[in-house]
Amino acid sequence: MRDIKRSDILFYIVAFVIIILGIFLRFKLYFAKIPFWLDEMMLSLSFIDRDILGMFMPLEAIQKSPPIFNVLVFLCVKFFGFNILSLRFIPFFCSLISVILFFLLLKDEIKSRLVVLAGIFIFSLNLPLIYYCQEFKQYSCDVMFCILLIYLYKYISFKDLNIKKILKYLIFSVLIILSSFPAIFILPSVIIGKCIEEKVLNLKILSIVLSMFFPITYLYLLYKDMRINEIQLDAWQSGFINFSFNSISNMLYDVFSFLTANWSFNYYLYIILFILFGMIIYFAEKNKKAYLILFILIFVFLASLFKIYPISSRVALYLLPIIIILMLKISDYPPPYWILRCNAEQITNIFKSIIILILLFNIMHSFYIPYINVSEEETINFRDPLKRRIAKKNITEYFLNNYKQGDLVLSIGEVPEIWFDFYIKLNNKHKEITFDSENLIIDKLTAKELIKEFIKRKQNSWIVVNDNINDILGFKKLTEDILKENKIKYKHKEENDINLYYIYF
């Protein structure tokens, strides 16, 4: 048994400390129980009255998430009840596993242990990755499955395929596609990369490829007829690129600025250069994963180009492990000793240190850790401090506690029914809320007419004004002016961008 080097022990101790810190921060944020926001509430509606088969059907409120993700969440809710922690457990668990998996992947891909430590530091403490560990969406799961597929690549072989092996690959392919949407173009990259590497292609491999057709077709039929409102279309449209320079430039800026948690980041070209150099080094080394990474990037681009899957902010979170690896890969390239005429080992260490400092400074200079002290009342500072979540939680629970059966509700703004449905279930309240109408108000004239017609009924009622820009449009002042003009008694509660008016006669 060979002696364990002191450097090995030090490497694993430092790596362990970084990983534990990343896991600690994820635990801290998960158990802070930050109130759900609208997207999470909309997705949660599908887990209120459905059975397990309902997880394979179109979801409520035009939501889309992988069927196996839905099943796992359903089981958590079934065993631990409908609450914030059970709904968010699967993304949280996947986020924890992804930290460990990424460390194992880095050890395979990067030669320098110092750079490996830098990579796991960037990944473990990256703000978007930590933040999405506690969001009830599938994005953290996508990150884990992306890392898993790249890591397992070395264990996959299409040589000497037998029935048992084919069946194993068939089942794995179907399950992975039903677990993560990005797997639809990552898995074909694995197959193509392995065929090129092993220089093999036969009917047995084609049977594995054909097996992917069934889950992909199912997902297409499941979601193709789902209505998309203008807000969703606009959000997704920004992630669909074309061949224009502006489109590609805007997409890259959106992705890189989001993944580095820096919304004002204007110097992202160095990231592209590092990625390109990293890709070149992969091929120069004749690395077995070179074609895998290349085809993943090609399929991601094509999926966006043909409006199949967008490259946009949180939806592209799964790309972060690939981006980090490609950026760090340049450290494996030997510096030009013959120009510098210095000791090779010293220059190599200096070269790697400079790369690490550049990456850490530019990726982490806007990175803060305010979420260490997160609580029910104090949440993370992620550019938008998320105070509106707390406001919506408090004001919604106030409404539910004071709402009486038969009261009418006029909604001006976002979709408050979803908040109410969510908190009714969360707090085990049994109330039916009568909505007069729900309106996305775009001008003061329409709002004025609706409010005037509403108060003519002379019935105890609620007016919910919820719009991020209501201060600009003046909906709050408009509502209060109409109520005062008609001498209507009311109680007013306001939190951030939400105004709640209780009208009584």
Is 478 part of any domain? yes
Residue (of 181, 169, 149, 178) closest to 211 by Cα position: 169
Kindly state whether residues 231 and 100 are assigned to the same domain: yes
- Last-in-domain residue among 336, 371, 406: 371
In degrees, rounded to 5, the angle at the alpha carbon of residue 111 between the alpha carbons of residues 21 and 324 is 55
- Whole-angstrom Cα distance, residue 417 to residue 420? 5
Q: Are 23 and 97 in contact (CB under 8 A)?
A: no
Is 269 part of any domain? yes
Kindly state whether residues 231 and 352 are assigned to the same domain: yes
- Whole-angstrom Cα distance, residue 175 to residue 68? 8
Kindly state whether residues 364 and 404 are assigned to the same domain: no
- Last-in-domain residue among 310, 340, 371: 371
DSSP classification of residue 492: E
The pLDDT value given to residue 211: 78
Residue that the structure tokens 């406001």 belong to: 391
Kindly state whether residues 291 and 407 are assigned to the same domain: no
Is 78 part of any domain? yes
What is the model's pTM?
A: 0.84
For residue 188, give both structure tokens: 């074909």
- Whole-angstrom Cα distance, residue 71 to residue 77? 10
Kindly state whether residues 344 and 403 are assigned to the same domain: no
Is 378 part of any domain? no
User: What is the residue range of 491's domain?
Assistant: 387-504
Is 299 part of any domain? yes
Q: Tens of pLDDT along the chain (505 residues)?
A: 455 678 788 999 999 999 999 999 899 889 988 888 878 888 998 998 899 999 999 888 778 899 999 999 999 999 999 999 999 999 999 999 999 999 999 999 998 888 898 889 889 988 889 889 999 999 999 999 999 999 999 999 988 888 888 889 889 999 999 999 999 989 999 999 999 998 888 777 877 777 787 788 777 777 665 444 455 555 566 678 877 777 777 777 777 766 665 544 445 666 777 788 889 888 888 888 999 999 999 999 998 888 888 887 788 899 999 988 988 887 777 655 444 455 556 556 666 666 666 555 545 444 444 433 444 434 444 444 344 455 566 777 788 788 887 788 887 765 566 777 777 777 766 666 666 655 554 567 777 888 888 888 888 888 888 655 444 567 778 888 888 898 888 988 887 667 888 888 8
Q: Are 44 and 87 in contact (CB under 8 A)?
A: yes
Residue that the structure tokens 């084609």 belong to: 206
- Last-in-domain residue among 371, 399, 418: 371
Kindly state whether residues 363 and 500 are assigned to the same domain: no
- Whole-angstrom Cα distance, residue 95 to residue 309? 22
The pLDDT value given to residue 281: 87
Kindly state whether residues 351 and 399 are assigned to the same domain: no
Is 376 part of any domain? no
Kindly state whether residues 296 and 362 are assigned to the same domain: yes
Is 124 part of any domain? yes
The pLDDT value given to residue 120: 92
- Whole-angstrom Cα distance, residue 311 to residue 290? 21
The pLDDT value given to residue 389: 59
Question: What single string gives the DSSP state of each residue in 294-322?
Answer: HHHHHHHHHHHHTTSS---GGGGGGGHHH
Kindly state whether residues 442 and 488 are assigned to the same domain: yes
Which residues fall within 8 angstroms of residue 184, CB to CB, at 6 or more apart? 177, 212, 216, 219, 303, 309
Kindly state whether residues 139 and 204 are assigned to the same domain: yes
Kindly state whether residues 268 and 174 are assigned to the same domain: yes
Q: Which amino acid is at 344?
A: A
Is 225 part of any domain? yes
Question: Domain with 479 in it: what CATH number?
Answer: 3.40.50
Kindly state whether residues 156 and 208 are assigned to the same domain: yes
Residue that the structure tokens 């990259």 belong to: 189
Domain count, the chain: 2
The pLDDT value given to residue 373: 41
